[in-house]
Amino acid sequence: MSLPFQLLFAFLKILIMVGFLFNVGGLLTWVDRRQSAMIQDRIGPNRAVIKIFGFEIRAFGLIHTAADGLKLFFKEDFIPPNADKLLFGLAPILAMAPVLALIAVIPFGDVMDLRALWSWGCPGTVGHVLSLDHGQCFDAAHKLAADVSPVIFFPPVPRFGSPASSPVDLMVAPLGIGILYVFAITGQGIIGAAIAGWSSDNKFSLMGALRAASQMVSYEVTIGLSLVGAMMLYGTVRLDDMVRWQGENCWGIFVQPVAFFVFFAAAVAETKRIPFDLPEADSELVSGYFTEYSGMKFGIFYFAEYMEVATSSMLLVTIFLGGWQLPFIHRDGLSIELGTVTIFHMVMPHIWVTIFQVLTFFGKVLVVCSFQAFVRWSLPRFRYDQLMKIGWRVLLPLSLANIFVTGCLVLGVEQSSAGAQAGLKVAADLSQALVAGLITALFVAGAFGMLKPRAKSAWIVGSSAQLALSRGGTKQTAMQA
């Protein structure tokens, strides 16, 4: 592929990943409000409104997100008198940059063959071969077939091997070091928080920075060790090869369940979100390391946290939830297998398989992001000593034990008989069937749940509410839903 086309596709891939990251970051600010309202039985965001010709547009509270972003642009950019102005202004950039750099090695699809997306050809019948030349169809004797017109074809590609004609990796930077790059970039996330707290000339900010530094360093160790077992099993450090292994065997959550749990817990701690939000605990440190920030500098810190949720979800999906893989969907189409027996096979065009894979990856990321928001509004904040004990005394030993058990199992499988390995292949195919069944069941349950009418009933919680009810209730005011 020529250099201009390489630059064009690199720009498009950057546009897709950065655009998705920014949009999901903005959407998560709304999800936090809306989902917390649903969990706490409140109305949620509904006051921001746009009036057009007498019609009020509330968009389920989405206008709040746009209003907040617009407001931050016009708020005063306050800098403390004794702050280090250079570092104070540099800290938000250092907090945002690692998040954007991390998405460079995250694959959002398999290798795409440009020449196999579509092609022009001449439809022929059995025993009558036609060829395309200068936009017209000719037979074997090179006579013009006047009654046949060229049509567009959407060909499939082979299941195994890489495209040799015009391959395009659906990741910004297909580096060979893969997960090692992730470790290097995530280690830089602490710099922004530490510099922000130190340069603010505020004791609450400094305390938040110290908490952030110790917390992130502690849980980065756990994140790294939790992925060692996955690398041993997949036999590679490239994220795209990890996804391909899961597509041909089973998802990482089935073969590394302990690593999945440890990685998820440590990733939530790395994003400094409830129940691990001690560096910015508002009841103790006002806003922690960014207490003195206002305007868009505060907005960058605020937005970077939501973007960290998205990037951690991308890594979780890539390493443990199959990445772009759907059960039984491969490069050449739908293939339902059980061990060495192929039950059903349907060839699918390469362009449709690619579209399904990309949509699958981003859909999984949205689901994991929503689950992280659910965790935030379901668990209370830990004390700081509890947070450190969980990291060093619970998660770290679990990750070390997982490495030992994984090593023993890998050696056992390599030395096992052919029958045992065939049995493992059947178990892997059954896990794919289990995933397909769960996805179908959740989709059907969600569809019926959306259509089912909801019955609202009063729910009395606490003695004060019971006392108010016994005295005739409280005054009700008009509220807009």
46 and 94 together in one domain: no
In single-letter form, the type of residue at position 390 comes to: I
Asked if residue 468 is part of any domain, the answer here is no
Asked if residue 451 is part of any domain, the answer here is no
32 and 105 together in one domain: no
358 and 409 together in one domain: yes
Specify the pLDDT at position 159. 79
190 and 246 together in one domain: yes
The rounded radius of gyration (Å) of the Cα atoms in the chain is: 27
DSSP conformational letter for 382? P
Percent of the chain whose predicted confidence (pLDDT) is above 90: 7
At 321-367, the pLDDT tens digits run 988 888 888 888 888 888 778 888 888 888 888 888 999 999 999 98
259 and 284 together in one domain: yes
Domain of 203, in residue numbers: 78-110+170-444
Number of structural domains (the chain) is: 2
Q: In which band, very low, low, confident or very high, does the pLDDT at 179 lie, cut at 50, 70 and 90?
A: confident
Count helices and strands (H / E) in the chain: 17, 11
In single-letter form, the type of residue at position 356 comes to: F
69 and 82 together in one domain: no
In single-letter form, the type of residue at position 324 comes to: W
At 254-273, the pLDDT tens digits run 889 999 999 998 888 888 87
Can you tell me which residue has the tokens 């790395």? 270
Asked if residue 471 is part of any domain, the answer here is no
CA dihedral 454, 455, 457, 462 (to 10 degrees): -40
Asked if residue 357 is part of any domain, the answer here is yes
DSSP conformational letter for 447? H
Please give the structure tokens belonging to residue 224: 């790294």
At 419-455, the pLDDT tens digits run 787 888 888 888 888 888 888 888 888 777 767 776 6
Q: Is residue 177 left, alpha or beta, with left meaning phi > 0 and alpha meaning psi from -120 to 50?
A: alpha
At 51-108, the pLDDT tens digits run 888 787 777 777 888 888 788 888 878 888 888 888 888 888 888 888 888 888 899 9
With vertex at residue 242, the alpha carbon angle to CA 317 and CA 350, rounded to the nearest 5 degrees, is 85
CA distance 417 to 406: 19
In single-letter form, the type of residue at position 45 comes to: P
67 and 82 together in one domain: no
At 449-479, the pLDDT tens digits run 767 776 666 555 556 666 676 766 666 655 5
63 and 186 together in one domain: no
Q: What is the largest CA-CA distance in the chain?
A: 99
Specify the pLDDT at position 165. 66
Q: In which band, very low, low, confident or very high, does the pLDDT at 318 lie, cut at 50, 70 and 90?
A: very high
432 and 395 together in one domain: yes
Specify the pLDDT at position 413. 81
Residues listed for the chain? 481
Q: In which band, very low, low, confident or very high, does the pLDDT at 30 lie, cut at 50, 70 and 90?
A: confident
Specify the pLDDT at position 400. 92
60 and 104 together in one domain: no
Q: Which residues contact 205 (CB under 8 A, 6 or more apart)?
A: 196, 197, 198, 285, 288, 289, 290, 291, 292
Asked if residue 123 is part of any domain, the answer here is no
SS3 449: helix
Give me the mean pLDDT over the 148-152 stretch: 69
Please give the structure tokens belonging to residue 14: 């950057």
CB atoms within 10 A of CB 290: 28
What is the overall mean pLDDT for the chain? 81
Please give the structure tokens belonging to residue 413: 């499988």
SS3 200: coil
CA distance 226 to 258: 8
Residues facing 301 on adjacent strands: none
CA 359 to chain CA centroid, nearest Å: 12
CA distance 415 to 356: 37
Specify the pLDDT at position 126. 39
241 and 285 together in one domain: yes
Q: Which of 66-80, 214-228, 388-402 has the lowest mean pLDDT?
A: 66-80
CA distance 58 to 117: 41
At 203-213, the pLDDT tens digits run 888 888 888 88
Whether the predicted pLDDT of 176 surpasses 70: yes
At 130-140, the pLDDT tens digits run 555 556 676 65
More confidently predicted of 159 and 182? 182
Can you tell me which residue has the tokens 């998040």? 99
CA distance 52 to 56: 7
Whether the predicted pLDDT of 299 surpasses 70: yes
Asked if residue 214 is part of any domain, the answer here is yes
In single-letter form, the type of residue at position 420 comes to: A
Of 74, 102, 119, the residue that ends a domain is 74
Q: Give CA separation, 136 vs 132, 139, 140, 150, 154, in Å.
A: 6, 10, 13, 7, 19
Please give the structure tokens belonging to residue 49: 């409104």
Asked if residue 459 is part of any domain, the answer here is no
Asked if residue 234 is part of any domain, the answer here is yes
Give me the mean pLDDT over the 162-166 stretch: 66
Q: Is residue 42 left, alpha or beta, with left meaning phi > 0 and alpha meaning psi from -120 to 50?
A: beta
94 and 27 together in one domain: no
